[in-house]
Amino acid sequence: MTPATVLFEARDNTGILRLNRPHRMNAVIERMYEELGAILDSLPSDPAVRALILTGAPPLPDNITSAGQPVKEAFCAGADLKHHADGGRTPTEKKAYIELAHATCLKLRTLPLPVIAAVNGPARGAGTELALNCDFVLMADTATLAFPETGLGTMVGGGVTRHLERTVGLARARELIYTGRVLNGPEAVQTGLALASVPADHLLSEAMALAARMTDKAPLSMALAKSLMERAPSLTLEESYAEETKAIVACMESRDWQEGIDAFKEKRRPIFKGV
């Protein structure tokens, strides 16, 4: 049986989703996008998962390069160029591949849960695009990320031309896309791309700790906050007030709102059910 290209487990109300092609530094192929999309589609209906961590599976001991060296640990090395190099795709197939990649990024971006990218090694191209579609990026100190597309004769995708400017500003976004400059963890924090850079062996525990600060919050409140913050740049100030009014009323009509009030009065932690 062909190994799954992604692995999923739930732990402490947090889903951990691992890109799982370590022999290819977790480079993406169509099947990986399809499997990612299927899992992302299932998560909103899973009450046991209140946050998601996306990371890369580490290489196995027998993962050796063609030069006889051990394969490096990676988050995602981008598109698997071996699958593109044969030139066998028709224009229609090329377009379908890109649309699949974009559909997967959109699912990640709009998932009604907080999503943390735990970048455990190199992220390039499509890998950096996946990370940037998460709510937060945490990086190992030794990890790196970059957009190498202009040096490969291709173009950034995954909404990067929109998301990157919002994250780091227009001038820095242009520089990163035009030059393909590689950023390490501390540099990514300095530019605003990453929330934190930590020792590699602490990365997953730090991501779990961040997730734990959100998994006990009201799921409806979290989903509405994420949706409105994503839409905010396209709304006028008056429209933002109106949308926030709708969101607050929706929360006040939920059982979780009453649970929050009761817990406050009773000086206890609320137990939210997402209804």
9 is catalytic: no
- Pairing between strand 136-140 and 144-146? unpaired
**Exposure pattern of 159-184 as b/e (b: 16+ CB <10 Å)?**
bbeebbeebbeeebbeebbeebeebb
Q: Is the dihedral of CA 62, 66, 70, 76 positive or negative?
A: negative
Tokens describing residue 153 = 């004769």
Can you count the helices (H) and strands (E) in the chain? 11, 9
236 bridge partner residues: none
Instruction: Select which of 34, 149, 253, 266 is catalytic.
Output: 149
Cα–Cα distance measured from residue 132 to residue 146, given in angstroms and rounded to the nearest whole number = 11
CB-based contact 128:148 (threshold 8 Å) = no
- Pairing between strand 123-124 and 144-146? parallel
Burial class (CB in 10 A: 0-12, 13-18, 19+), 123: buried
Which residues have a catalytic role annotated?
149
